[in-house]
Amino acid sequence: MEARDPELRRELDATLKARAELGPEYDSALVDSFLEKVERRLDDTLDRRVRRHLAEQRTVAARSGARPAAADGTFGERFGFGAVSLVLAVPLSAIGVANAGIGGLVVAWLGILGVNAVHASRTWPWSRGRRRVSSDRDG
């Protein structure tokens, strides 16, 4: 298997060598450190992709003279929210399994799915007419 990211591969190799030298009592600290590096790398990659996508949208809009379809940031917000939830799913899953086994994993993923479902429901076309503004409730 060829590594897609040689720097992360080197970090993983260094983590595994450190584990061999330090022993299993340092496993959680080593795993946490490696996961932080992976999260940083994912965040950087996702940021670059979102910026590139938004720049492409602006370029297309500027050339055509039309307003971009997601000028309100809807795509970027949805993509960013989904990406962040997936990045956070890794440590949340590890914490859930470490503390409560498979039950903790299930609870962690139900929470992740729930938060994403609520966030996605804001953009469902059939739910737009049902929303009430707080001023509607006051009067």
Check residue 130 and report its DSSP letter.
T
Query: What integer pLDDT is reported at residue 67 of this predicted model?
Result: 54
**Which amino acid type is present at position 91?**
P
| All structural domains of the chain with their residue ranges | 6-129
Give the other-Cβ count within 10 Å of 96's Cβ.
20
Query: What integer pLDDT is reported at residue 139 of this predicted model?
Result: 44
Query: What integer pLDDT is reported at residue 90 of this predicted model?
Result: 87
Query: What integer pLDDT is reported at residue 117 of this predicted model?
Result: 85
Query: What integer pLDDT is reported at residue 138 of this predicted model?
Result: 45
Query: What integer pLDDT is reported at residue 57 of this predicted model?
Result: 87
The mean pLDDT value of the chain amounts to: 79
Which residues in the chain land under pLDDT 70?
Answer: 1-3, 66-73, 123-139
Query: What integer pLDDT is reported at residue 81 of this predicted model?
Result: 84
Q: What is the DSSP string of 52-107?
A: HHHHHHHHHHHHH-SPPTTTTSHHHHHHHHHHHHHHHHHHHHHHHHHHHHHHHHHH
5-42 confidence digits (pLDDT tens): 788 888 888 988 988 888 888 888 888 888 888 888 88
Query: What integer pLDDT is reported at residue 52 of this predicted model?
Result: 92
